[in-house]
A and B are shown apart, each in its own frame.
Chain A
Amino acid sequence: MAGTGKAHLRDGDDTLLRVEDLVVQFPVGRTGLTVNAVSGISFDVRKGETLGLVGESGCGKSTTGRAIMQLPRPTAGSVRFEGNELTTMARADMREARTRMQMIFQDPISSLNPRRKVRDIVMEPLNIWKRGAKDDRARVVDQTLEEVGIDPTRASESQAHQFSGGQCQRISIARSLVLDPSLIICDEPVSALDVSVQAQVLNLLEDLKERHGLTLIFIAHDLAVVKNISDRVAVMYLGKLCEVAPSDELYRAPLHPYTNVLLASIPVPDPGAGATPVAVTGEPPSPVLPPSGCRFHPRCVNALEVCTTTEPELREFAAGHFVACHNPVLSSPVAVQVTPSATDAG
């Protein structure tokens, strides 16, 4: 699953964000070992586009989101945002750049300060950046709160715990919007929500994107959710990219065996569909000692000899559809076989 290679990067003036060869490593205590959270991925996002980043826990998708924000700065690679290189940017400039790129997190309740009034939380970015006069700030905050469906009066009287999970997520969205950013990185924003509330938040993000001309990076593990909101989807596995394609295309003809696994795992709300056999066993191996060759090969039903030694590069199979695999799945949908549980990875 190697996703080295940059064949999928696009040229053009409307590229808002371009990430090249991004590497993020963390030391493991004093052991001298390294967690290879992200191992050389490249992608770009155009203005007004929504890029979905999908993968299991530990695949590096959240780390990628944070590395774009330079939280912390990546170990290597380049992140160009609105034409400026962020990795070498001075701290003060970087703070300023972060007003143009905001983040919303998975757990809406814990990402809001429990002791403060919600309206003050939403106001804070404006106060820090001293945007406009006091009245203007109040107007922007109330307007934004109303836009996300929160009553400003209630917000000025209440703390986060007095709102439901879905409302807290909308408050987080309001907070990310007040500085008028061009890019919002949404890190699993709906994973902790009920399906009915999830639908509200997804629709809201779509509306706001349209109204404010936003560009979104939407990080999630649920391909059905990602498909709904994204224009383009990048599938990640263990710090590498496996497949990049327009979202309808990715679902119509998933090429990478891992993408097929992810698709097969989605619970289908149709009892007639029958139980999908478990498409993959075990969990991803440790990013401390990633497998040789293609990182997915120990769990892959399509693995060949070459997969154990050589890392595949991203190559284009159809227009805009890139895959990093030596033996991609060409007929779709695929009957994914059940591998014996003996190969279960710890």
Chain B
Amino acid sequence: MSEAHVPSGPRYAMSDSAHAYDRSLPSSLLEVRGLKTHFKTPRGVVRAVDGVDLTLQRGRSLGIVGESGSGKTILSRSIMGLLPRRNTLREGEVLFEGHRLDRLSGKEMRSYWGREMAMIFQDPMSSLNPLMKIGAQIAEPLKVHLDMDAKTAKSTAERLLREVRIPEAARRLEQYPHEMSGGMRQRVMIAIALACGPTLLFADEPTTALDVTVQAQILDLIGEERRERNMSVILVTHDLGVVAGRTDEIAVMYGGKLVEKAPTATLFANMRMPYTEALFESIPKLEEPSHSRLRTIPGRPPDLVNPPRGCPFAPRCVYARDRCYEEPPPLVPAGTPDHVYACWYPVGSPEYHERRKELGKEDLVTVTLAEVS
């Protein structure tokens, strides 16, 4: 597959027999195998993504959850080929509809960006051009990727704005980003991302900068568009609450690795990785009375220049034992379908129960004053 593949989704071309095989195969839309993304820095090599495997079917949604510095954003950018080439080492395979994307040049990737995969970023203000009218910014990908003329692009832009539920779409086209609220800007970002009808949408913390009420609206909008367009969505977030009701599957990342992956309902019913449990228990819950102590995760994510030898979470894990510091745990099946986790003493194991009994609730919630550095 050395030549550039020109996407031929049903929206763009009549089914061309040469490409018919992509559509007929029941294979996954996206397959990531052993993906590594390392950066050369003056401090040493940062192992931002260190061997990740993922599969995503068409029309499905996947949540990637982790703290800042877990590698979740780099993973999504690496899949999409958005990282600078200089000083970046990328290994492993990224297959999109069976085609190897990891071997394509930046120029060849362009035929995928917008038309096949698009991304919504966290901060809608800094992702929009402050000097361009909204309409022109939505029309741009339509002209570049779909060769639309200015007039068609403008009317399509208006339709897209209506689709993302922006009232008075025609008037909004003539406005600049600063004339809109944060929620409206994020809707514009979604309109731009959806403009060329991508089959895979990355949403990287799309609602972190927004109010809860607007967050709910934006997440619902992404969900509706996914169902209507049979699009796949990868939702990247630090908040397990955000992905709980909105994704089919969840992958938890830590220290550049996947540490647990399961269908959403399975994960919440039966989380095995102590990191997942700690993330879950640190969320303030409405059912709990006020002033309930929250579970905290002491310390910080590992330094990815010198990752720990064993399990990356061991230094912060309250259940860690000697083995955890020595041997990195592999991803193992949890018994239920599609559920894998990487832990020697998972939640529910005898060792876990033993340690949990030893620890008072206080040990789980105390702010450790000594920083893990």
Contacts and interface: CB of A to CB of B under 8 A. Distances in A.
Interface stretch (B53-61, B215-223, B336-344): B215-223
Contact of A271 (B244, B284, B286, B288): B244
A275 B220 contact: yes
A207 B220 CA distance: 37
A204 B367 contact: yes
Interface string A256-281: 00000111111111111111101111
Contacts of A248: 289-290
A140 interface: no
Contacts of B368: 149
Contacts of B284: 198-199, 202, 224-225, 227-228
A229 B290 contact: yes
A261 B217 CA distance: 12
A228 B288 contact: yes
Given A222-B212, A268-B244, A346-B168, A203 B290 contact: no
B79 interface: no
B291 to A, nearest CB: 7
Interface residues on B, range: 35 or more
B17 interface: no
A196 B215 contact: no
A200 B367 contact: yes
B290 A267 contact: no
Contacts of B371: 149-151, 167
Contact of B283 (A150, A204, A269, A341): A269
B328 interface: no
Interface string B78-110: 000000000000000000000000000000000
Contacts of A269: 240-241, 244, 268, 280, 283, 285
B67 A196 contact: yes
B367 A149 contact: yes
A183 to B, nearest CB: 19
B297 A196 contact: yes
Contact of B290 (A196, A198, A230, A341): A230
A202 B265 contact: no
B239 A267 contact: yes
Given A196-B296, A265-B215, A344-B167, A274 B241 contact: no
Contacts of B165: 281, 341, 344
A228 B265 CA distance: 26
Interface residues of A, number: 61
Interface string A232-272: 00000000000000011001000000000111111111111
B369 interface: yes
Interface in B336-372: 365-371
A46 B290 CA distance: 17
B38 interface: no
B42 to A, nearest CB: 15
A276 B290 contact: no
B290 A281 contact: no
B73 to A, nearest CB: 13
A274 B245 contact: yes
Contact of A268 (B166, B245, B265): B245
A325 B169 CA distance: 33
B246 interface: yes
B146 interface: no
B241 A203 contact: no
B68 A165 contact: yes
Given A146-B369, A227-B290, A271-B245, A56 B211 contact: yes
24 contacts: A57-B182, A149-B367, A196-B278, A196-B297, A199-B284, A203-B366, A224-B283, A224-B284, A228-B294, A229-B291, A266-B241, A266-B286, A267-B242, A267-B244, A268-B244, A269-B241, A269-B244, A271-B265, A275-B245, A278-B217, A279-B216, A282-B167, A344-B166, A346-B168
Given A225-B284, A267-B242, A341-B165, 4 more contacts: A196-B296, A203-B366, A267-B219, A275-B223
Closest CB pairs A-B (n = 9): A267-B241, A199-B294, A199-B282, A228-B284, A269-B241, A265-B216, A196-B297, A247-B290, A265-B212
